[in-house]
Structure 1
């Protein structure tokens, strides 16, 4: 049985759900996130105060202006200390002069300033947010894939992005996922999964970086089995029901 989302995680997912649809009836949101009518109204009220989602005639409506920074801010508040600890552990696996692929996760974004300490280093990314962060460190070389820009993720996705990734290679790719259950990593968006899997194919090594709160949840699309990653870097507590798979010999776990 999967654990319920924390409220902060649910707010992020709810905001992105509304962004994708444009407008969603409150009844549908309550059903989608398996919460009460009272709870969904409280959630939308909080997102409305943040300027993310607005309540209009029984529907949650995406804000007219982009709220990319707001949703990214929500993500970055989730277990920040644990994510930073995991990033530090990842840095111990990297060597100066390497070429690194980063996905568009908030965890990978926290890694960028630490990569600057390992320069010279080349960073390949489809994330506009990560690209902006890398550009602030001139000692890092930057390659941005381009493609179709998706404001909700502040990143490039689609076939053009995949094509660009297939033309390059890296020493290591580093990514996070939305959920992990019984040794399988998941993400809710099919386009993001395609990028992550292409990155894994184009890199000599793959590192999954997650905090313990991701365990015990599922999302729509499978990214990979944990055993497909060369290292799984974890910070924070993993639920007892999920910990057994981490002890399997084909899963290389590093505690952040």
Structure 2
């Protein structure tokens, strides 16, 4: 999990809507600053979401946004199956100078109901397996750095 790796980094400032991420990084023995975004609590995902969370995140400016999505279509459209999660992802991307999308390979060639964005604001994409070739070409054409965490079948 990325949050566990970040917890051991030096002096981060983290803005999150995830209770689990806030706790993991906040409870580490490193001098981090953690800002928990307010909003409506969703027990199923342990996240704060809704219009209040979007208004809250819009008060910040970040060097980097790290997020996930539920689907990535063949044309490079990022989507989610939950409208509130998609709206929150869109808001954090807008507040950051760069953005990293972290998805597993099952998200490629999927369609979901709520659009987040296209590839334009995405700096890098991290996934568990090499995507189909048309995605590699699409990422290259959109200046998205592709990082494959584990490329073993």
* Fold similarity call, TM over 0.5: yes
Alignment match, 1:162: 54
Q: How does 1:22-61 map onto structure 2 within 5 Å?
A: none
* Residue 188 of structure 1 pairs with residue 81 of structure 2: yes
Looking at structure 1, the residues matched to 142 and 20 of structure 2 have their Cα atoms a distance apart, in angstroms, of 36
Tell me how many residue pairs correspond in the alignment. Answer: 147
Deviations 1:176-234 (A, max 9, x none): 11111111111011111111111011111111112222101111111111232011222
| 8 Å contact kept, 2:98–2:121 | no
Q: Considering only aligned residues, what root-mean-square deviation do their CA atoms show, in Å?
A: 1.7
| 8 Å contact kept, 1:196–1:223 | yes
Alignment match, 2:17: 126
Relative to total residues, which structure has the larger helix share, 1 or 2? 1
SS in 2 for 1:223: strand
Looking at structure 1, the residues matched to 34 and 143 of structure 2 have their Cα atoms a distance apart, in angstroms, of 33
Deviations 1:41-100 (A, max 9, x none): xxxxxxxxxxxxxxxxxxxxxxxxxxxxxxxxxxxxxxxxxxxxxxxxxxxxxxxxxxxx
Classify 1:205/1:242 alpha carbon distance in 2 versus 1 (closer, same or farther; 3 Å): closer
SS in 2 for 1:228: coil
The unaligned stretches of length 5 or more in structure 1 are: 1-109
Looking at structure 2, the residues matched to 188 and 155 of structure 1 have their Cα atoms a distance apart, in angstroms, of 15
User: Which one has a bigger Cα radius of gyration?
Assistant: 1
